[in-house]
Amino acid sequence: MARTWNAFLGLILANGLALPAQQLTANQHQLNLASFEQVWTTIRDKHWDEKPGGLDWQAIHGEFSPRMEQAASMEESRAVLREMLGRLHQTHFGILSSSSYGEVDPDGGGEGTSGIDVRVLDGRAIVTEVEPGGAAARAGVKTGWEIISVDGRELRPLITKLQADSAVHELQLTRAVLARVTGSAGVTRRFVFSDWAGPILKDLTLQKPRGEMAGFGNLPPQPVWFSATRIGPGNKIALIRLTVFLDLVRVMNQFGEAVRSCADCKGIIIDLRGNPGGIGGMAMGMAGWLIDPSQKTQPDLRLGSMYLRGQALKFFINPRVDAFTGKVAILVDGNSASTSEIFTGGLQDLHRARVFGTKTAAAALPSVITRLPNGDGFQYAVANYISEGGKALEGNGVTPDVEVKLTREGLLEGHDAVVDAAAGWVMGK
Question: Residues 311-365: pLDDT tens digits?
Answer: 888 899 988 888 999 999 999 999 999 899 999 999 999 999 999 999 998 887 7
Output the pLDDT for position 299. Answer: 62
pLDDT at 32 over 90: yes
Q: pTM for the whole thing? A: 0.81
More confident residue, 329 or 222: 329
pLDDT at 233 over 60: yes
Q: Which domains does the chain possess? A: 2-97 (no CATH), 116-205 (2.30.42.10), 212-365+383-426 (3.90.226.10)
Note whether 127 and 416 are within 8 A (CB): no
Out of 15-29, 66-80, 215-229, give the one with best mean pLDDT: 66-80
Output the pLDDT for position 396. Answer: 81
Output the pLDDT for position 260. Answer: 95
Distance CA(175)–CA(220), nearest Å, equals: 16
More confident residue, 24 or 250: 250
The residues near 105 (Cβ < 8 Å, ≥ 6 apart) are: 179
Q: Which of 316, 325, 399, 324 is nearest to 355 (CA)?
A: 399
Cβ count near 235 (within 10 Å): 11
DSSP one-letter string for 173-218 = HHHHHHHHS-BSTT-EEEEEEE-SS-EEEEEEE-BPPSSEEEEETT
Which alpha helices (H) appear in 7-50, and where do they start and end? 26-46
Q: Residue 397's pLDDT band (boundaries 50, 70, 90)?
A: confident
pLDDT tens string 134-186: 999 999 999 999 999 999 999 999 999 889 876 678 988 998 999 999 999 99
Q: Residue 295's pLDDT band (boundaries 50, 70, 90)?
A: low
Output the pLDDT for position 6. Answer: 38
Distances (CA, A) of 415 to 90, 116, 334, 360, 402: 38, 16, 20, 22, 17
Output the pLDDT for position 308. Answer: 84
Distance CA(252)–CA(242), nearest Å, equals: 11
The residues near 151 (Cβ < 8 Å, ≥ 6 apart) are: 189, 190
Q: Return the ∠ at Cα 157 (arms to 155 and 161), rounded to 5°.
A: 120
Distance CA(117)–CA(296), nearest Å, equals: 39
Note whether 256 and 285 are within 8 A (CB): no
* Segment holding 328, helix H or strand E: strand 327-332
pLDDT at 109 over 80: no
Output the pLDDT for position 393. Answer: 78
Distance CA(55)–CA(152), nearest Å, equals: 51
